[in-house]
Structure 1
């Protein structure tokens, strides 16, 4: 097999592990993209700057270096774009350099993460136990929100979570709240 040629089965196998970028899964998607490109030895264009475009006076080494970078850039862009849902792809400025394209995607999702964190915090602070579910389910739901916030790098200390939980309980749990606070 020619040097630098990726077998179709490897390409298909590796890319099948990449989820489609849908919005809430940016971190996982990015990790899988970078791992796949690294395993396939296609991450050169992400790691190094574009070499000068070869001229008539360029050496064979310079031409080969540019060709490797250009191939990495082209295939990386194709792989990345093929794993972004169409609705999201339209909101990302199109680029012909993979490094610039990845930065544009990251910029888009930093804003998304902030909005998601704000929504989750409001939900956590506004939660109240209603009669339709038990205390255990209510606490698990609150812990799930805290876990989602943690993935967004917002840490809620356990002592705060306990206070959030206690404050979310209705009046009939007053004796329990007093007991805990003493």
Structure 2
């Protein structure tokens, strides 16, 4: 595993922090699911975690400081530099985690907070529409024997996970109900038989 000392052997001392930052950004970015139009909430959560862990979410929480003037205190300069770096790197990470086609449809901005708000506005409606589609699919999907039962159950569970990512979580009880209902066509007689046996044992 790479560490600070190993990286610094290959760069000048003055560039060590920059090299480490570039390496860290690349590593964290690889864990972010690219925004593709159907995964906005999941993408937003992952981006938020990455920026927070890297201590780069400052620009998303704090508005841009006043422009630098001739008479500026050391504290004001430090605050501006912290915000400027956070804003610049955050914007780079956010934009590079969005597919080019989608990026072209989003109003550009040099402010990370503003740009993220534009992305959210773009996908607010589409996320709800996708959630509705998933719910309808869960309600109407029936097991058709083209795949194994386990694969079918995993597919239903995956849809529930996606809904949870859209802040529309389905309780475990409802998920089980949806799964059992979707299997009734093929296994209805088996379920009824098991149910009768359970009642007989009481």
TM-score normalised to structure 2 length: 0.70
Which of residues 130, 134, 137 in structure 2 aligns to 1:116?
Answer: 130
Which of residues 13, 24, 28 in structure 1 aligns to 2:24?
Answer: 13
Which of residues 97, 105, 127 in structure 2 aligns to 1:83?
Answer: 97
Give me the whole-angstrom Cα distance separating, in 1, the residues matched to 2:187 and 2:62. Answer: 63
Matched, 1:170 2:185: yes
Which of residues 134, 155, 158 in structure 2 aligns to 1:144?
Answer: 158
Q: Deviations over 1:110-163 (max 9, x none)?
A: 333212211111111111222434544433332332232223222333443344
Matched, 1:44 2:58: yes
Count how many residue pairs are aligned between Structure 1 and Structure 2.
181
Q: Report what 2:4 is aligned to.
A: none
Q: Report what 1:54 is aligned to.
A: 68
Q: Report what 1:154 is aligned to.
A: 168
CA 1:179–1:48 in 2, change beyond 3 Å: closer, same or farther?
same
Give me the whole-angstrom Cα distance separating, in 2, the residues matched to 1:64 and 1:166. Answer: 60
Can you give the 5+ residue segments of structure 2 that lack an aligned partner in the other structure?
1-12
Q: Deviations over 1:40-92 (max 9, x none)?
A: 44332222221111223333432343233223222321232122210111122
Give me the whole-angstrom Cα distance separating, in 1, the residues matched to 2:80 and 2:169. Answer: 44
Considering only aligned residues, what root-mean-square deviation do their CA atoms show, in Å? 3.1
Deviation at 1:97, TM superposition (A): 0.9
Higher alpha-carbon deviation: 117-126 or 77-86: 77-86
Which structure's residues are more often helix, by fraction?
2
TM-score normalised to structure 1 length: 0.76
